[in-house]
Structure 1
Amino acid sequence: MSLRTALRAGTSDCHADVDQIFGRFDLGREADYGAFLSAHTRAVPAVEIALEKAGIERLIPDWAERRRRDLLLDDLAAMNVPLPPALDAPPMQDDAALLGAVYVLEGSKLGGAMLAKAVGKGLPSAYLSPFGPKGGMKAFMDMLDNAGADEAGAVEAARAVFALFRKAAEMELEMAAS
C-alpha cells in the first residue's frame, strides 16, 4: 500500500469529522467567516512552524511556496479580527510525521479552493484561494506514492493534525455560542 493510500484510509474518519465541524461556519456571514479564519489561525501557523523547525524543506524543497500562514494572517488582519492564541502543534519527530502533517495541510488547500466560492462578497479570501507551485499537489501525491516512510507514524501524525483543527473549530464555535 502506498503512503497516500494509507493516509487516506487511516484518516478518512478524521477528515469527515473536520469537514462536518467546519461546515457549521457560514462563510457568507462576516462573523462566521472571521471565526473560521480564527480557527485556522489557531492551528495552521503552529503546524507550519513545527514542520519548518523539523526540516520540512529537506523533504519538500518548495515548501516556502506551499505554506499559507502569511495569507491567513493577512486575511484575518484585513477583517480586523484579533489573533487568537495558537494551539500546540503535535510533535514532528521523523519524516513520516512530517509527511503526515503536510498531507493534512495540502489537502486543506483543495477544500479551501471549493470553500472560497462561499466566502461573502468583499471578504478577503487569499488564504482559501488556490496557490502554490504549479503541479505541487500532484508532485506531493507522487512523493507519497513513492515514500518509504512508516505508514503508521504518518497516519498518527495526520490524525493529530486533524484533531488540532477540530479542537480549534470547537473553540471558535464555543466562543460564538457564549
Structure 2
Amino acid sequence: MSLRNALRAGTSDCHADVDALFGRFDLGREADYRAFLSAHARAVPAVEIALENSGIERLIPDWHERRRRDLLVDDLAALNAPLPPSLAAPDMPDDAALLGAVYVLEGSKLGGAMLAKAVGDGLPAAYLSPFGPKGGMKAFMDMLDASGADETAAVEAARAIFALFHKAAAMELEMAAS
C-alpha cells in the first residue's frame, strides 16, 4: 500500500470526526468564524514550528511557501481577535512523523479551499485561500509515496495531529457555549 493510501485509511475516522466538529462552526457568522480561526490558531502554529524545529525543510524544500500560520494570524488580527494560546504539538522524532503531520496540514488546505466559499462577506479568508507552490499537493503526495517512510509511524503522527485539531475545536466550541 502506498503511504498516501495508508495515511488516508489509517486516519479516516479521525478526519471524519474533526470535520464533523469543525462543521459546527457557521463560517458565515463572524463570531463562529473567529472561533473557527482561533481553534486553528491553537494547533497550526505549534505544529508548523515543531515541524521546522525538526527540520522539515530537509524533506520539503518549499516548506516556507506551504506554511499558513502568518495568514492565520493576519486573519485573526483583521477580526480584532487575540491569538489564543497554542496547544503543545506532539513529538515528531523521525521523517515518518514529519510526513504524517504535513499530510494533515496539507489536507486541511484542500478542505479550507472548500470552506472559504462559506466565509461571510467582508470577513478575511487568506488562511483558507492560500496559494502555495503550484502543483504543491501532487508533488507532496508523490513525495510521500516515494519516501519509503514507515507507514505505522506516519499514521500515528497524523492521528496525533488530528487529535490536536479535535482538542482545539472542542475548546473553542465549549467556550462559545458558556
Q: TM-score, normalised by structure 2?
A: 0.99
Partner residue of 1:162?
162
Q: Which amino acid aligns with 1:30?
A: E
1:92 and 2:87 matched = no
Q: What does 1:139-178 correspond to in 2, within 5 Å?
A: 139-178=139-178
Number of aligned residues? 178
1:58 and 2:58 matched = yes
* Local SS of the residue matching 1:123: coil
Q: Are the counterparts in 2 of residues 4 and 141 from structure 1 also a CA contact under 8 Å?
A: yes
Q: Could you tell me how far apart the structure 2 residues matched to 1:67 and 1:135 are?
A: 15
Partner residue of 1:46?
46
> Could you give the per-residue CA deviations for residues 44-98 of structure 1, whole angstroms, max 9, x where no partner exists?
0000000000000000000000000000000000000111110000101000000
Partner residue of 2:131?
131
* Unpaired segments ≥5 residues, structure 1: none
Stretches (4+) displaced over 4 A: none
Q: Could you tell me how far apart the structure 1 residues matched to 2:43 and 2:130 are?
A: 19
> Could you give the per-residue CA deviations for residues 96-130 of structure 1, whole angstroms, max 9, x where no partner exists?
00000000000000000000000000000000004
Identity of aligned residues (%): 87
Q: Are the counterparts in 2 of residues 104 and 158 from structure 1 also a CA contact under 8 Å?
A: yes
Q: TM-score, normalised by structure 1?
A: 0.99
Q: What does 1:99-114 correspond to in 2, within 5 Å?
A: 99-114=99-114
Q: Are the counterparts in 1 of residues 65 and 132 from structure 2 also a CA contact under 8 Å?
A: yes
Q: Which amino acid aligns with 1:111?
A: G
